[in-house]
Amino acid sequence: MSLSLEELALKADVSKTTVSLVLNGKSSIYRISKETENRILKIAKDHNYKPNSIARALRLNKSLTIGLIIPYLNRHFGRVAEVIEQNARELGYQIIIAVTQDCLNTEHDLIENLYERNVDGLILATMMNRDQFNDLSSKIKIPIVLVDRRIDGDDIAWVVSDDEQGTCELVSVMCQEGVTDIYFVGGIEKLSTSIDRLNGFKKALLDQGVECNQSKIQQIGYAVADGYEMTKNIIERFSKTPEAIFTSAITLLEGLLQYAKEHKPDLFSHTRVITYDDHPMLDYLQPPIFSVRQNAEEIAKKSFEIMHGILEKNRSFAQELIKPELILR
């Protein structure tokens, strides 16, 4: 422990109050004399005084800490976390990250855990539905901003990619190239990301006058193994090799690639593969895989911005739809 306010006060031969006021930049408001102020500042500097943030947090009931709860720390979420952390740090906040592995119970535990730890706010990539969220909100009296996965409601703050639009554009490109036989490899059905991506998929088919066959739509989960499974189903259940497959996340694409490598090495000679999410390595895969790149940086920036606005500027909730980018290789 470095030296305390009290010890500083002793050295400067003033009271704790004076030191506190000076150090918090309230000298002028309280008419502390320039002489005293400078003396205190100098002593503080000389002794490299650092206020004890825990004492401060206790006193102010404000920890300057934000909890960030996300399913994984993989590429997309890792980048989101990284940027949120940087933005937060610049404004004096620190981020506590916890990882749910896409398990709802874990999410609940983590929220409770971080709440008990007195975080000032929570940024969540949630699996909760509206009811569960309402339940939570009534118990928890700190601001919540949803990131990446939204919940419908006018009073809920969120920042997500425009999944529907992104998917629609990507799938439309396929249709315009003449593809009419396209499969949807989806994730956890009830998540907004899944709903929006599926809606985008259907909208593209509708717009382009392509028939949408329910049997070509699968939604199991976002794990690599799920992508493998769904690809397997497509290949094994249908006699005809599909013209195109859309995977709605990079992990699902990985599963597809794995299945193809093991059981269907010629998949790509008959089938176009396109995916939501991007990855730099896709640039080097043959054949080219079109993708939709989410703007992780912007998502991160906005979500902390909204949180900060609520905490310090009396702003209320806000909602932001971030445009993803089509990558046609």
Partner DNA sequence: TTGAAAGCGCTAACAT
Partner DNA sequence: ATGTTAGCGCTTTCAA
Cβ contact 311:162 at 8 Å:
no
SS3 content of the chain, % helix, strand, coil (to 5): 50, 15, 35
Q: Does the protein bind DNA through residue 21 (CB under 7 A)?
A: yes
Cβ contact 57:94 at 8 Å:
no
- Pick the binder of a second copy from 17, 28, 52, 180 (CB under 8 A): 52
- Pick the binder of DNA from 10, 11, 23, 217 (CB under 7 A): 23
Least Cα distance to 143 among 67, 61, 56 occurs for 67
User: Footprint of a second copy on residues 106-135 (CB under 8 A)?
Assistant: 110, 113-114, 116-118
- Pick the binder of DNA from 10, 11, 20, 241 (CB under 7 A): 20
Q: d(Cα 317, Cα 302) in Å, to the nearest integer?
A: 12
Q: How many residues does the chain have?
A: 329
**DSSP state for residue 47 in the 8-state scheme:** T
Q: Does the protein bind a second copy through residue 288 (CB under 8 A)?
A: no
Closer by beta carbon to a second copy, 200 or else 227: 227
In whole angstroms, how close is the CB of 18 to DNA at the nearest point? Answer: 4
Cis omega (within 30 of 0) for bond into 287: yes
For residue 89, the one-letter residue type is R
Q: What are phi and psi of 71, to 5 degrees?
A: -70, -40
Cβ contact 278:250 at 8 Å:
yes
Q: Which does 280 bind (CB under 5 to 8 A by kind): DNA, a second copy, none?
A: a second copy
Binding to a second copy by CB under 8 A, coded x per residue (else -) over 221-240, reads ---x----------------
Cβ contact 184:198 at 8 Å:
yes
Q: Does the protein bind DNA through residue 112 (CB under 7 A)?
A: no
Burial environment of residue 279 by CB neighbours within 10 A (0 to 12, 13 to 18, 19 or more): middle
Q: Which does 85 bind (CB under 5 to 8 A by kind): DNA, a second copy, none?
A: a second copy
Q: Which does 63 bind (CB under 5 to 8 A by kind): a second copy, DNA, none?
A: a second copy
- Choices 6-14, 97-105, 127-135, 154-162 (CB under 7 A): range interacting with DNA: 6-14
- Choices 47-55, 186-194, 239-247, 314-322 (CB under 7 A): range interacting with DNA: 47-55
Q: Which does 33 bind (CB under 5 to 8 A by kind): a second copy, DNA, none?
A: DNA
Q: Which does 18 bind (CB under 5 to 8 A by kind): a second copy, DNA, none?
A: DNA
Q: d(Cα 264, Cα 262) in Å, to the nearest integer?
A: 6
Q: Does the protein bind a second copy through residue 74 (CB under 8 A)?
A: yes
Segment (H or E) for 165:
helix 163-176
Q: Is 170 helix (H, G, I), strand (E, B) or coil?
A: helix
Decide the pairing of beta strands 325-327 and 290-293.
Answer: antiparallel
Residue ranges that bind a second copy, judged by CB under 8 A:
1, 50-55, 57-58, 61, 63, 72-75, 78-79, 81-82, 85-86, 89, 94-99, 110, 113-114, 116-118, 224, 254, 257-258, 261, 279-286
Residue ranges that bind DNA, judged by CB under 7 A:
1, 4-6, 13-18, 20-21, 23-24, 30-33, 35-37, 51-52, 55-56, 58-61
